[in-house]
Structure formats: structure tokens, C-alpha cells
Structure 1
Amino acid sequence: MGHRYKVREIAQQSGLSEATVDRVLHERPGVREDTRAEVRQAIADLDKQRTQLRLSGRKFFVDVVMQAPERFCSQVRSALEAELPMLSPAVVRSRFHFRETESVPAMLETLDGIRARGSHGLIVKAPDDPQVSDALDAVVAAGIPVVTYVSDVPSSARTAYVGIDDGAAGATAAYLVDQWLGESTSSVLVTLSHDTFRNEGEREIGFRRALRRTASGVPRAVFDIARSSGLDDTVEDLVVEALTLHPDIEAVYSIGGGNVATVRAFERVGRRCRVFIAHDLDADNRRLLAERSISAVLHHDLRADARSACRLLMQAAGALEGVRDEPSPVHVVTPHNTPR
């Protein structure tokens, strides 16, 4: 057990004698387990008090940069704004820089502006591109810690990545598709917003790999649509084209969004989608799930991710300790267990 505090401090916090605390700290025999637990709790309380004092009066300005459809950006904004008051006694303010379509030059311009202006931290969803990685390195070199969010840029000097295990999420989607299709040899359509986002690529790899090793053993063709930006206007025509070229497509794994458009595309060609697996509980997916137009949603808690991202940035500034960047859990949501 660490000796971060004087025996007297721990004794005052726990209400135990200094002699008892000393025996616990040095792991000497003759001390009851509940007494040892009291000492551990006292140290944890002192840690919390020290953190509160360190945070008191601290102000952090955090920039949030995302290239994603507006429906997802709105979710992220709501999640972050709901979490910021919970970071008290520190005061955290956010500045949002959102763009719907993928553009490396636009991302570079935004990152350069933040580097020049200054910030206490950057939360970013960006393409995994060498130029973007270099720009993030320049932001970090300017003293601004970076947390990649939802999609990683691992070659950069970012502090941490906050998001799900995308390969495992893709494998989960493959498991669900195989269970629903059973012995059918129907093909599967995978839709992506853009092939430069690392999270989407890892989901697709995980999906394809797991689909080749499913319990049914049925071989299935997989076709993909990329560079749709996840926008309904773009997605619908691309899906119609794919359905026309491949009449045996009866399942969809939507990685990049545009699910309203995908449902419309099946309706346009008069075909049934037997299995539809999507990501994220935005307003569109909630409605489609309730209508049974999609089968299941792979969901993770964006508020928990936002809280983790902010705490990692605060830790990089020396205001917190012990914050770890662990993958967010993925939940399979059906019409029967949709959270509020």
C-alpha cells in the first residue's frame, strides 16, 4: 500500500489511532480486515479531496473537431454539454468545429487555427491521413493535448483514443447477421461513409473476418459502398445501384449511416431487407428500430465517452490522476431494450 500521506493524516481521516494505521500500512499481522478496509477508504477519500483541491478554480477550454453527419455531431454536442457540469469543481468550456463531409484540407485548416489560437485540449474525429497525423503532431508540440474520438489516428502523438473496439463491433454485427439469415445464402451490403476513417475500416475488417467463420458455415458474398459521407441524398442512389446489380442482397451492415436512405432504397426496388444492423442511437435509428425497419443497433454511451475524453485531457494537464483509456462497451439494442 502506498504511503502518499502521513500516518497522522490517514489516522485523522479514518478516526483510527496512528499505531493502527501504521500497522496496516506496513502490513503487520493482528489487524482485522474491516480495519484495513477503513484505512484503504481513508486513503481513497484523501485522494479525492486532493483532486478536488487541485481542480478548484481551474478553467479548461476544449475544442471539439468532427467530420461527421449533422445527426451524429448533434449527438456528440448534447452528450458533451450534458457532461461538462459534472466535471465540477473545474470549469470546462467547449468550442465546436463540425463539418459534414470529409475533407483533409478543411481539417488541416481547422487544426492549424486551433494550434495558433491555443487551447487546453482537443477532442477530434478525423480521417486517418498522414497529413492529418502531422497536423495533430504540431498541435501536441504546441502544448495542446489531443484525444481522438470515435475514430483513431494512431500514428499521431495523440494522448489517447476514446471509443469502442471497432473490430469486435464488426464481429458482433457478423454474428447477428449470420443468426438471422441462418441457412440462406443471401449476400450482405456494407455501407461506409468514407474509407479514410479508421474506425469504419476496422469495423468492416472485423465483420468480414467473422462472417467467414460463422457457426452456420454458409458462404456469403459481401459488397460495400464507400465515400457516401453517410448522407441520405448520396446513400439512397448508391444502395439502389447495388441492389440492382446484386439481386441476392438481403442484409445490410450500416457502418457509415444514411439508414433512412437505405430503407427507402429497398422500398424503391421492391425488395425485402431481412437483416439490418446499424450503429448509434440517433433519432433516425430510434424511429427505424421502433418501426422494425432495422433489426438491431450497436450502441455505446456517448456521454461516458465525452466524460472520459475530458478527464483524459484534464489528466494531461496535470489536474487528474489514474484516468485510463479503455474501450467503451458495445450494447446490442433491439426494439425491446431501447434506452431513453
Structure 2
Amino acid sequence: MDRSRIPVRRATLEDVAREAGVSLATADRVVNQREGVRAKTVESVRRAIAKLDYRANPAAARLARGQSFRFAFILPSSTNAFMAGLMQQVRRISDWLEPQNAFVDILQLDVFDPEALASGLAGLADHFHGVATVALDHPKVRAAIDDLVARGVAVVTLVSDAPTSRRAHYVGIDNPAAGRTSASLMGRFLGGRSGKVGVILGSMSLRDHVERLYGFQQVLSGDYPGLTLLPVLEGRDESERNEAAVAGLLADHPDLIGLYNIGAGNEGIVTALETAGRPLVFIAHELTEATRRGLLSGTVAAVINQDPGHEARSAARLLMAEVTGEPILLDQERIRIEIFLRDNMS
């Protein structure tokens, strides 16, 4: 018989109490470091814990104490495909959190408006133990985050960071690296050609967009001097604005050979390019229905992606760890850059 395949039962607190020769209540007092237990008894329980390799179940302990947590996820009020997918993933993690007596509220704010975002964050301290927010790197937003932390609320930033704030963690990809990757793909797809490259982003106030732009400029100027970067256009991640912006670029620049959309709103860009029927290398972010269709048709050359499900789960795990003091596995929380071409869409 292959004993290596026999599952090993995890030791329970009842096992510890039996091994130490004490009551379950006494073992519980020792595990939770409550007073009123003789030193000799504490030592007996600790020996039993070590012998049985007992590990407490924090979720069960919280349920037993009736302890619960409420978290707020702050997402943009404007709709785009990536944020809609992220919202769907946040709703899904509610099923994982609920058995642990933790609950999620989704709040939508205008994350492009520092006044609106800061004001929305300011009203959360009395209602939530933790907040995950798409952040704007602005003094008022940083101050609002710092105030929440000062009042005992755990804060993680999601997708876009405010690194000089007192937030506990940032959940998202390495954005300068994403920009550099996009530039390398752009240069390689263009294969030594010279011409102009257009760039659209949501807002220069969003740190993730600015960092991607920096990485893109860094590689394009250093490795591909034949490519000229046009002035950056802001589309607020809105499909209609992006469509109009691309139509204007195509009309004004006959030598436009590349396009990089740093943010969302790819539906409008794909529409503008397909309407014009002018081939160029278009690099986009986030694998959505629009970018999938664009990859299949050849309108989109490559997509830089971040997994919204991983981000939602990571933010929830980090908030739970912050409010409970449980350990964090940083490798588990690293959000990796994914590259999709027509050949490897999942």
C-alpha cells in the first residue's frame, strides 16, 4: 500500500487538549494567550502544540468570537471593459470572504477627479475596516489615504498607486516595465521602419498611466530613434473620446505607423482604425472582448494584460492579513505582466 497517498489529518485544538491532559477551554486560553492559566499548564499545552504541529484556524476563531470585517472596494464610476471585469471579480471574492465573516461593498467614484475621490475616501473610516482603492497620485488623495490609516483603516491601492501615501500595499503590475515591454513590441513589430507613433492615455494624474508612458518613452527613444513620439493625448479611458482622437491622428499624420493606448477605451480605437482601413501597429492594454476581436482581425498587434481576478483576490487577502495580523506570502501577491498575441489568447 502506498502510504504516501494517505491524507494526513490536521491536528485540532481537541487533539491538543487531549495530548496535554487539559480541558478544551484551557487549551483555547493558552492558544489565544489569555491570562488565568498556570505556567506549568501553559508549558504542557505548548509541548502538545509542538508535538502535533497544531496550527490555529484564524477564520474559525473569528467565527467563534463573532468577529467580522467590512471592506470597501473603490472603483471608477466611468465604465470600461477592464474595470467592469475587475468589478465582476470583486463580487466573486465575496463568496470567499463571507465564510470568514468578512464582507465587501463596491463603491464607484470618479477616480479622475481628486476632489471627488478624496471626499469619498474621507467618509469611510467609520464604516469599514479596510479599503482597496484605484488611486490617483494627488496630494488630496494621499492625505485622505493617510487619514484613513491614522484612524485604523487598512488601505491597499489597486491598479493605480499612490506610493508616497501610508497605504499598506500596492496591487498591480510593474507599470514602467509594462511600458518598456510595449515599446519593445512596437519596435520589433515595425521592423526598422521610420515614422510617427501616437500615444493615448486616460489621465496624466493616474500614476500607472504616467509610469507606463515613462517606460515606453525610455525604450522608444533609446532603442528605436527612427520612431517619433507624437504629443500624448488624454482620453479619460472613454471609448468615444479615444475614437475621435485616433480619427484626428490618422487625418493629421499620414506617416503614423504605430499607436499605443496606455489605458482603456480600446473599443473606440479599434472602430476608428477599422473604419479608416489604414494598417499600423497598435499595442493595447487588457484582454477584453474588444481587444480579443482586434487581435483576431489583426487590428491589434499585441495586448499587455494584468489579471483582474488575481488583483481582486490579492487585494482581499492583503486586507484580511492587515486587519488580522496573519502572515503575507508576497510571491503569491505579485501581479505579473502578460503578453497576448493572436496565437496565445486564452
**TM-score with structure 1 setting the length:** 0.80
Alignment partner of 1:299 is 2:299: no
What secondary structure does 1:172 align onto?
helix
Q: Shift of residue 77 of structure 1?
A: 1.4
Greater mean alpha carbon deviation, residues 288-297 or residues 154-163? 288-297
Residue in 2 that maps onto 1:10: 50
Alignment partner of 1:314 is 2:320: yes
Residue in 2 that maps onto 1:276: 282
Alignment partner of 1:287 is 2:300: no
Question: What is the distance in 1 between the residues matched to 2:109 and 2:176?
Answer: 26
**Percent identity between the two aligned chains:** 30
Amino acid at match of 2:327: E
Question: What is the distance in 2 between the residues matched to 1:68 and 1:279?
Answer: 19
Residue in 2 that maps onto 1:226: 233
Structure 1 residues 229-267: Cα deviation after superposition (integer angstroms, max 9, x where no partner):
111111122222222232211111111122221223234
Number of aligned positions between the proteins: 299
Question: What is the distance in 2 between the residues matched to 1:287 and 1:266?
Answer: 13
Structure 1 residues 154, 107: CA separation in 2 closer, same or farther (over 3 Å shift)? same
Question: What is the distance in 2 between the residues matched to 1:73 and 1:6?
Answer: 48
What secondary structure does 2:202 align onto?
coil
Once the two structures are superposed, the pairs formed by residues 4-83 of structure 1 within 5 Å of their partners are 6-13=46-53, 46-47=54-55, 49-56=56-63, 58-67=67-76, 69-70=78-79, 71-83=81-93
From 156, 161, 166, give the equivalent of 2:175. 166
Question: What is the distance in 2 between the residues matched to 1:224 and 1:305?
Answer: 31
Give the RMSD, CA atoms, in angstroms.
Answer: 2.3
Residue in 1 that maps onto 2:37: none
Residue in 1 that maps onto 2:133: 124
Question: What is the distance in 2 between the residues matched to 1:87 and 1:95?
Answer: 12
Which of the two has higher C-alpha Rg? Answer: 2
What secondary structure does 1:221 align onto?
strand
Whether the aligned pair in 1 keeps the contact of 2:111 and 2:134 (CA below 8 Å) is no
**TM-score with structure 2 setting the length:** 0.79
Residue in 1 that maps onto 2:216: 207
Amino acid at match of 1:310: A
Residue in 1 that maps onto 2:39: none
Question: What is the distance in 1 between the residues matched to 2:111 and 2:49?
Answer: 56
Question: What is the distance in 2 between the residues matched to 1:68 and 1:228?
Answer: 15
Question: What is the distance in 2 between the residues matched to 1:114 and 1:261?
Answer: 35
Structure 1 residues 136, 12: CA separation in 2 closer, same or farther (over 3 Å shift)? closer
Q: Shift of residue 218 of structure 1?
A: 4.4
Structure 1 residues 140-176: Cα deviation after superposition (integer angstroms, max 9, x where no partner):
1222111000000112111111100001111111111
Structure 1 residues 12, 132: CA separation in 2 closer, same or farther (over 3 Å shift)? closer
Alignment partner of 1:334 is 2:341: yes
Structure 1 residues 280, 69: CA separation in 2 closer, same or farther (over 3 Å shift)? farther
Whether the aligned pair in 2 keeps the contact of 1:311 and 1:323 (CA below 8 Å) is no
Q: Shift of residue 207 of structure 1?
A: 0.8
Residue in 1 that maps onto 2:122: 112
Whether the aligned pair in 1 keeps the contact of 2:318 and 2:328 (CA below 8 Å) is no
Question: What is the distance in 2 between the residues matched to 1:203 and 1:309?
Answer: 22
Alignment partner of 1:97 is 2:104: no
Structure 1 residues 92-133: Cα deviation after superposition (integer angstroms, max 9, x where no partner):
322112246721221122112223x42011111122111111
Residue in 1 that maps onto 2:151: 142
Gaps of 5+ in 2: 1-30, 32-44
Structure 1 residues 113, 153: CA separation in 2 closer, same or farther (over 3 Å shift)? same
Q: Shift of residue 68 of structure 1?
A: 6.3
Question: What is the distance in 2 between the residues matched to 1:314 and 1:234?
Answer: 39
Q: Shift of residue 301 of structure 1?
A: 1.6
Residue in 1 that maps onto 2:36: none
